[in-house]
Homo-oligomer: A and B are copies of this chain.
């Protein structure tokens, strides 16, 4: 495993009082796509063996099968030093909620330093109750629309696990995509422009005595694109084919 992803192995997902088996399966799938594997279910009202749960887990049935089932949130949180309580609204008497991204980045840094952390989600209808939110170290909100904030449970798990993965990956520089063929050199690009001007002149589209902005526009276009060598070969091949046609 990539070392910067070791934080993901320290992050557990805790679902409290889930009622729909489909959401448990979908949450397992959401976790696995992001490289998280530790699932804990607190007093679930749905069964992990339910065919709907297994179907929605798709290829993540291993996460589902290894889920820990415990009676209380306190047990599920054992050993964690940070726990993010996902909640749609601010609660009286609790720490003010932080937006998901910032909270996850902070928790991920703790996991990177060797701490166990948790993402905690409440029942579908009601969300986490005040006691559960207060048992966690930080309430967290997803910045949803003010008009409609009703995130599906598995969708919320997907977003939180995605942010956790993005935070874990943050140290890795974005890979620079390899071109399909080598980039064209400056002189190859110049060769294309010379060829273009000659062809445009030959067919009467361009008058070298009155160039106006045409050469500049074409340089601007092909200058933006970072041409590959093979693309230059294609374009020049096309210009040559067109020239032969005129000579017939």
Q: Which residues of A contact B (CB under 8 A)?
A: 26, 29-30, 32-35, 56, 58-60, 92-93, 96-97, 99, 101-102, 142-145, 147-152, 154-155, 158-159, 162, 165-166, 169, 174, 177-180, 199-200, 202-205, 214, 217-218, 220-221, 224-227, 230-231, 234, 237-238, 241-242, 244-246
| Cβ of A241 to closest chain B Cβ, rounded Å | 4
B93 contacts A180, C-beta separation under 8 Å? yes
**For the complex, would chain A's binding face be called helix, strand, loop or mixed by DSSP majority?**
helix
Contact partners of A60 in chain B: CB under 8 A? 148
Cα distance A217–B229 in the bound complex, in angstroms? 12
Give the 10 A-B residue pairs with the shortest CB-CB distance, closest first. Answer: A96-B177, A205-B241, A35-B145, A225-B225, A203-B245, A155-B158, A33-B144, A32-B148, A203-B242, A203-B241
Known: A218-B234, A241-B203. A33 touches B180 (CB 8 A): no
Oligomeric state, in copies: 2
A165 contacts B150, C-beta separation under 8 Å? no
Using CB atoms, name the residue of chain B closest to A159. B162
Using CB atoms, name the residue of chain B closest to A102. B174
Contact partners of A178 in chain B: CB under 8 A? 96
Cα distance A14–B181 in the bound complex, in angstroms? 32
| Cβ of A40 to closest chain B Cβ, rounded Å | 20
Cα distance A231–B221 in the bound complex, in angstroms? 7
Contact partners of A237 in chain B: CB under 8 A? 205
B217 contacts A230, C-beta separation under 8 Å? yes
B143 contacts A166, C-beta separation under 8 Å? yes
A-B contacts, 16 listed (Cβ < 8 Å): A26-B152, A29-B150, A32-B147, A33-B142, A33-B149, A34-B145, A58-B152, A101-B166, A155-B155, A200-B241, A202-B245, A203-B238, A203-B241, A205-B238, A221-B225, A221-B227
Cα distance A147–B166 in the bound complex, in angstroms? 16
Most central of A142, A143, A149, A150 by chain B CB within 10 Å: A143
Q: Among the listed B58, B145, B159, which residue makes an inter-chain contact with A32, where contact means beta carbons less than 8 Å apart?
A: B145
Using CB atoms, name the residue of chain B closest to A196. B238
| Cβ of A134 to closest chain B Cβ, rounded Å | 13
Using CB atoms, name the residue of chain B closest to A179. B96
Cα distance A145–B8 in the bound complex, in angstroms? 11
| Cβ of A154 to closest chain B Cβ, rounded Å | 7
